[in-house]
Amino acid sequence: MSLILAAILPHIIGPFNKSDENDNAPAKKPGVTKSDWGLVDGKQVYLFTMVNAKDTEVSITNYGGIVTSFITDDKNGEKSSVIVGFDNLEPYLKNPPHLGSLVGRFGNRIAEAKFTLDGATYQLAANNGKNHLHGGLKGFDKVVWESTILPDGITGISLNYLSEDGEEGYPGNLNVTVQYSLTDEDELKIEYNATTDKATPVNLTNHSYFNLSGDLSNTIYDHKLMIAADSYTPVDSNLIPTGEIKPVKDTAFDFTTPKKIGRDIGLLEGGFDYNWVFNKNDSLLQKVAELSDSVSGRSLEVFTTEPALQFYTGNSLDGSFINRDGNPIKKHTALCLETQHFPDSPNQPGFPSTILRPGENYHSITIYKVKLN
């Protein structure tokens, strides 16, 4: 009997050893995969999944350029998404509050949903009370973008959309290309380019909601945030800038050194939803913010060429949408760090210009880098 066991034992043990090895292997090979995700307006929607050498995974759909997940290891080696989202297309068609999406033609608000440019007044869609918000009724977050996987050597995709003259009230045919890529340093890089045949305001951004714990049963109150900004733009009761630029010192808006978001959030009605003006005075790519979470041990560094950042604490999240993990997306369970030009810039001559003219190229880069503390 011992000879029989000796003969068959290697065949019994072998497969179990191989299975154990496979359990520790990366789930997916580095690169980009593409899968069908449904139809919108008769156009094919895809989900692209980018995987790097660390087995970090970012998924993006060409519907609205939405980042659906950004899955990384926490301090215990457990994987979860630091970005709030869904695992199928249907919830995104029910108009969640811009979760993960590309925002344009103009991110943030334009007062009275109108502006005057070169002597002509343009009336935009009023979709935020009497104001215009995030591109209008059907902004860039609600259209199907043309999509291609980037060539070998870059783990990423390119999205293209032609916003036609008059769309949502804007002048000019605006040709927009947005490139998403994932590096082996766990950096999600977003590069925007646009050209136009008529002068038009352009302010593109990404509206991802972050919770670094990866668990929406945790609020963002204990997340620590640093913003490299000594000033901000005050707003009126409709969240329209007054035109002033004020110092953050000795106010709830001071994030020049890291502090917990929950420390001062109660001093503001609803929470934070303001524009911070960076200390940098050029368009070079620089680190402008850092978010950290002790529960997961993760940090998020933000780099951008933009002059400002909208920090929003999910004040309007009401639990009506359920995240992929089965948790309701409630108020203050996620936050946005939207790199941008200032809100209402077309109506504020004292703010940096957002007007793109024929012959010019709109170019902007933002990087979200996740690391362990």
Catalytic residues: 207, 338
Closest Cα partner for 54 from 187, 215, 221? 187
| Measured CA angle at 129 (ends 220, 201), to 5 deg | 85
How many Cα atoms within 13 Å fall on the side-chain side of residue 185?
7
CB 193 within 8 A of CB 177: yes
CA 127/CA 148 separation, integer angstroms: 31
Q: Is the dihedral of CA 255, 259, 264, 270 positive or negative?
A: positive
CA 194/CA 60 separation, integer angstroms: 20
| Segment (H or E) for 301 | strand 298-304
CB 287 within 8 A of CB 204: no
CB 163 within 8 A of CB 174: yes
Q: First CA to last CA across the chain, in angstroms? A: 56
Closest Cα partner for 174 from 365, 361, 348? 361
Which regions of 62-217 does DSSP assign to beta strands (E)?
A: 66-73, 79-81, 102-103, 109-110, 114-117, 120-123, 132-133, 146-149, 156-163, 174-182, 187-196, 200-201, 205-206
Closest Cα partner for 146 from 215, 48, 50, 238? 48
DSSP state of 131: B
CA 200/CA 56 separation, integer angstroms: 38
**Residue type, position 256, single letter:** T
CB 215 within 8 A of CB 222: no
Tokens of 69: 């997940």
